[in-house]
Amino acid sequence: MGVDRPPGSSRALRLDPYALPVRYAARDGGADGQVRQIELDRERVTLKRAVRGIRMNVGVPVHEFRGVSMRTLPPDSGDPAAVAVMLEHRDPGLSVPLHVAAEGDEAMAQWKAWARVLGLPLLVTEGDGSLREPYRRIGRIGVGKPVPRRKRRATLKRRRPSFLMRRKAGRPTANPAVHRGEAEIIARN
């Protein structure tokens, strides 16, 4: 048989974004045993690992993460290339894997679900390793092309008569009638 791998080192990582909180193990090149324990909640991520015998617990609020990214993983020791959904932090040592799949369609669905559940932006990895957002946003609102305006009559046609929409404001005449020198008639009791 082959070399025993530590738990969580398999490429088939499948976490459910709707079943939080969750605990799992993942690879960590700098930790003792090459493994770290991850506790993920909607509001906090806790990383537990030991380095040279010293145990560490690092808690990071979810809002401190940059977003949820999708990365391609190169083939590794007999495993085919894969697509990983990652929770990205400014410090690469705090980035957390969420889902690893061989097919891009499954990863795409998980990528969007994780971003929605955690309330973070979607990110894609460029060829040079930098991250960018695939869609333009202003704050948490997506910006897209404006939708063409609907015809007014189509939506209102069933609700009110169409002649009301043809009405125009009255115009004063060119020579208005002016009455001067006449006695005003007022009805009094």
Q: Is 75 helix (H, G, I), strand (E, B) or coil?
A: coil
CB atoms within 10 A of CB 83: 21
User: What's phi and psi for 113, nearest 5 deg?
Assistant: -65, -45
* pLDDT values of the chain reduced to their tens digit, one per residue, 189 residues: 333 333 334 456 788 888 888 998 888 877 888 888 999 998 999 989 888 888 988 899 999 999 999 888 777 777 777 888 899 999 888 888 898 888 777 888 888 899 889 988 888 888 787 887 777 666 666 666 777 766 655 555 566 666 666 667 778 888 887 777 777 667 666
pTM score above 0.85? no
Closest by Cα among 31, 135, 22 to 87 = 22
Nearest CA to 137 out of 120, 113, 117, 114 is that of 120
Residue 33, SS3 per DSSP: helix
Euclidean distance between CA atoms 103 and 94, whole angstroms = 25
DSSP 46-107: EEEEEETTEEEEEEEEGGGS-EEEEEEE--BTTBPPEEEEEEE-SSGGG-EEEEEESSHHHH
Domains and CATH numbers, the chain: 22-135 (2.30.29)
